[in-house]
Amino acid sequence: MPTPLPARTIKEVHDGLRNKEFSCREITDLYLRRIEELDGGIHSFLTVTGDEARAQADAVDSNIASGSSIGLLEGVPAALKDNLLVAGGRTTAASKILDSYHGSYDATVVSALRKAKTVFLGKTNLDEFAMGSSTENSAYGSTKNPHDLSCVPGGSSGGSAAAVAADECVYALGSDTGGSIRQPASLCGIVGLKPTYGAVSRSGVIALASSLDQIGPLTKTVEDAAIVFDAIKGPDPLDASSMAAPSKPIVGEIFHSIQGLKIGVPEDYFIDGMDTDVVAAVRAAITQLESLGAKIVPITLPLSKYALAVYYILQPAEASANLARFDGIRYGFTAPEAKNLDEVYRLSRGQGFGQETRRRIMLGTYALAAGYYDAYYKKAQAVRLQVRRDFDNAFREVDCIATPASPVVAFKIGERTDDPLTMYLADVFTVSANIAGIPGLVVPCGYADKGGKQLPIGLQLLGRHFDEAMILRVGYAYEQSTEWHKKTPVLS
């Protein structure tokens, strides 16, 4: 059996360290041992940084021994998605083209967590360059869902989500371009927060789509998500798109009652083909919110049905531009057989990028090409504005919006790899938040019995720009009134 842990949430680790129930070195060693015991079957991590983690833990123990008070994240073992730069640390974005690349500086969020004295256990697996919804597109092999090792954990932050679900770390950071935090959080039965675009610096994240990417936490509880968000949010001169979000700590605002709040429920998000267990669980969660005093308001978001099409024009277009820098010269892999500059470009990119990455680069380049720009990219940007206005109109009537997070529970590994269009539909409920730039939170709201395995279901809460406090407040109220967040996978 895997090593038992004395603490699984940020608050539990913090209280244990403060009360000297265990040392930071002891809790760090327990998590590293658990990774060693379990991760061969799950494959959450691409790199485990045990020596660095122990050194960080020893520094925290020295601080505690000196009588200093400790912050909420101090000494808490965490993991980072492997598209976040760490100075001197291997950063691959799960691509062979960056197999030997080491970061030259820390991402701003990594610097923020260093300042908070968190302990970094390692870097987690993802779909290559964060392009995917299952973590099957990694050049280093698929991550498996801890609740059923024959199923995907979601993506692209599947390694981070699986690591948190399997208690291989206390929390992890992921990135969300079209649902890449929220969808794996739903499929793995944990909490995932995509902040408002601009609330968290993107400096030091290997860019996929610069107008859509956002970094956020994957945690066991809503309170933990608020704690991590407080640590990483804020403006950054290194990121021109970052904005001065409310500086007041969010965590103190999530404990208020939701009595009288108006929660919008768009029937547009309950579509044909959804898993019946998902529909039932999300409907039950909405009824539970009503029992806690919230007023449920039917709303319409008629343009959300276009968000997926808009996303799969804008995201590949921005990806094709961002990934042009990986040319076989400046970063990572260079094809050894290349005889001239043209072959360096063509062979290095052809061999270094995986199939899905090549597909999206070609789609994006096509959408940006002369003669097609107006028909596709320009029109998608116009529809994007209308989708955002759809949400603005809805938020004039309600305080937040409740929807499913995924139309299905975790599907079998390999089930959709030959059908990219079906795979893209996994993001149908999450992409609209990225298109509009609004925050989204996923909390566990039920389980479906599939072949004797209990597979998680998530409730998504969407909020106004920079109103993370509202969705975290509603999520916390729901979480505390249920037991879903306490359910853990059976691992051996």
Per-residue pLDDT reduced to its tens digit, 37-64: 999 999 999 999 999 999 999 999 999 9
**How much is the pLDDT for 151?**
98
241 included as an active-site residue: no
**How much is the pLDDT for 294?**
98
pLDDT digits (tens, 9 = 90+) for 154-182: 999 999 999 999 999 999 999 999 999 99
Residues 191-198 have a mean pLDDT of 98
Angle, helices 24-42 vs 10-18, to 10°: value is 150
Banded pLDDT at 247 (limits 50, 70, 90): confident
Q: Which residue out of 156, 175, 242, 432 is catalytically annotated?
A: 156
**How much is the pLDDT for 332?**
83
CA distances for 85 relative to 7, 105, 110, 130, angstroms: 28, 7, 8, 14
pLDDT digits (tens, 9 = 90+) for 75-132: 999 999 999 999 999 999 999 999 999 999 999 999 999 999 999 999 999 999 999 9
Residue 453 has pLDDT above 90, yes or no: yes
Q: Which residue out of 133, 142, 180, 203 is catalytically annotated?
A: 180
Residue 356 has pLDDT above 80, yes or no: yes
- Residue 442: name the closest of 254, 186, 102, 227 by CA: 186
pLDDT digits (tens, 9 = 90+) for 203-219: 999 999 999 999 999 99
81 included as an active-site residue: yes
Q: Which residues of 59-91 are buried (b: 16+ CB within 10 A; e: fewer)?
A: bbbebbeeeeebbbbbbbbbbbbbbbbbeebbb
pLDDT digits (tens, 9 = 90+) for 14-41: 999 999 999 999 999 999 999 999 999 9
**How much is the pLDDT for 1?**
66
Q: What is the average pLDDT value for the chain, to the nearest integer? A: 96
Banded pLDDT at 443 (limits 50, 70, 90): very high
Of 126-140, 254-268, 331-345, 396-410, where does mean pLDDT reach its minimum?
Answer: 331-345
Identify the CATH homologous superfamily for domain 10-301+389-486: Amidase signature (AS) domain (3.90.1300.10)
Question: Which 3 state secondary structure label does DSSP give 277?
Answer: helix
Residue 492 has pLDDT above 80, yes or no: no
**How much is the pLDDT for 473?**
98
Residue 422 has pLDDT above 90, yes or no: no
Residues 416-437 have a mean pLDDT of 93
Residues in the chain: 492
Residue 246 has pLDDT above 90, yes or no: no
**How much is the pLDDT for 394?**
98
Beta strand pairing status for 191-194 and 440-450? antiparallel
User: Could you state, in order of their start, the residue ranges of all structural domains in the chain?
Assistant: 10-301+389-486
Task: List the helix and strand counts (H, then E) for the chain.
Answer: 15, 11
Radius of gyration of the chain (CA): 21
Q: Which residue out of 81, 144, 450, 453 is catalytically annotated?
A: 81
Is residue 386 within a helix (H) or strand (E), and if so which, with residue range?
helix 379-394
